[in-house]
Structure 1
Amino acid sequence: MAAAKSVAHTTTQSKVEVAKYLREVLDHVSDSTMTVVETRLEENFSGGLVGKGIATHLRIERSDGTGMLTCYERITGTLDGRAGSFLLQASGFTDRHHAVHGSWEILEGSATGDLAGLRGYAAFAAMPDKSAKTGWSADTTLTYWFDQ
């Protein structure tokens, strides 16, 4: 029986600045404490992952400021020097301090260019940031590998 082939995993950190933020209420009932919202973001990544992301979030926002989200995003740029793009799927929540916490996963088969075969997962935390153009920035830690 052949041993399973080991694939090297790499971890890298990036800073994310939200460059554009569009918000649209999709559903709100006056006597409900929850609102369905769509947000569209343009993001700039720096660090181990350098590039631009275009994201669409579907959010549930509660009247106390907490909530949850699901997201798809395409990131185009370089990952530790390798150029291409990939799609990710994310989920997360907003806490009572308005910070957003979550995780994302690279969709298998979505990577292009020198990133073909890319797999991985990440954790992120987004916080209000007065120095950012839209008032938001995030930190993300990505663990990735390439399928052979």
Structure 2
Amino acid sequence: MQTQSTSTMTWDPWQPVPYEQTEGAPLLLRGEVSNHYRGQIEGEGVQQVLIALSPDGASVFTALERVTGRIGDRSGSFVLQLTGTTGGGAAKATLEVLEGSGTGGLAGLRGTGAYFCDNPGPDGNATLTLDHSFE
């Protein structure tokens, strides 16, 4: 049975680090960010992110994140794969639970979702929605 769970995601301040720069091309950055989930999804996550930052300040990113916590009454961990964009004062991403990444009570978790944030700064938050089921 497919279920939709929502959560508010906040994050600790973090600073991506440049790892490649070519004149006239997007700056490539990487970083680690700690996320906090409150709502139907409760837990903590550590995300490794790669970013391509355009000269106009917009960016494209991809990330992997292990989330440890609970969904409903099931506890464990799982890995999210995220792809997103920032620009115009907003950030949005699509996400997918990596098949086979669930542990404990979250073993067999499958799902896709998204998040949207209209205040992506250090004090911001995002609304995350995950449509999920268990094998």
TM-score w.r.t. length of structure 1: 0.86
Partner of 2:15: 22
Work out whether residues 41 and 71 of structure 2, in 8 Å CA contact, stay in contact via their aligned partners in 1.
yes
Aligned to 1:141: 129
- Amino acid in the other structure paired with 1:107: L
2:38 aligned with 1:46: yes
Taking the aligned partners of 1:45 and 1:98, their CA distance within structure 2 comes to: 22
For 1:75 and 1:22, the matched residues in 2 are separated by 20
The answer (yes or no) to whether the contact 1:105–1:120 under 8 Å persists in 2 is yes
- Which aligned runs of 4 or more in structure 1 are off by greater than 6 angstroms? none
Aligned partners of 2:85 and 2:91 also within 8 Å: yes
Contact 1:14–1:48 under 8 Å retained in 2: yes
**Offset at 1:60?**
0.3
The DSSP-based 3-state class of the residue aligned with 1:114 is helix
Q: List gaps (5 residues or longer) in structure 1.
A: 1-7
The 2-side partners of 1:44 and 1:115 are apart by: 18
3-state SS of the aligned residue for 1:136? coil
Q: Does 1:124 align with 2:112?
A: no
Letter of the 1:143 counterpart: D
Task: Look up the equivalent residue of 1:25 and give its one-letter code.
Answer: P
Deviation at 1:39, TM superposition (A): 2.0
SS of structure 1 residue aligned to 2:24: coil
What RMSD, in angstroms, separates the aligned Cα atoms of the two structures? Answer: 1.4
Judge conservation of contact 2:77–2:104 (CA < 8 Å) in 1. Answer: yes
Equivalent positions of 1:1-148 (< 5 A) are 8-29=1-22, 31-95=23-87, 97-128=88-119, 134-147=122-135
Kindly, what percent of the aligned residue pairs are identical? 30
8 Å Cα contact 1:65-1:98 kept in structure 2: no
- C-alpha distance in 2 between matches for 1:124 and 1:56: 17
Given that 1:117 and 1:146 are in contact with CA atoms closer than 8 Å, whether structure 2 keeps it comes out as: yes
Bigger radius of gyration, 1 or 2? 1
Question: Offset of 1:21 from its aligned partner?
Answer: 1.6
What letter is aligned with 1:113? G
TM-score (norm 2): 0.94
Contact 1:20 1:43 in 2 (8 A): no
In structure 2, stretches of 5+ residues that fail to align are: none
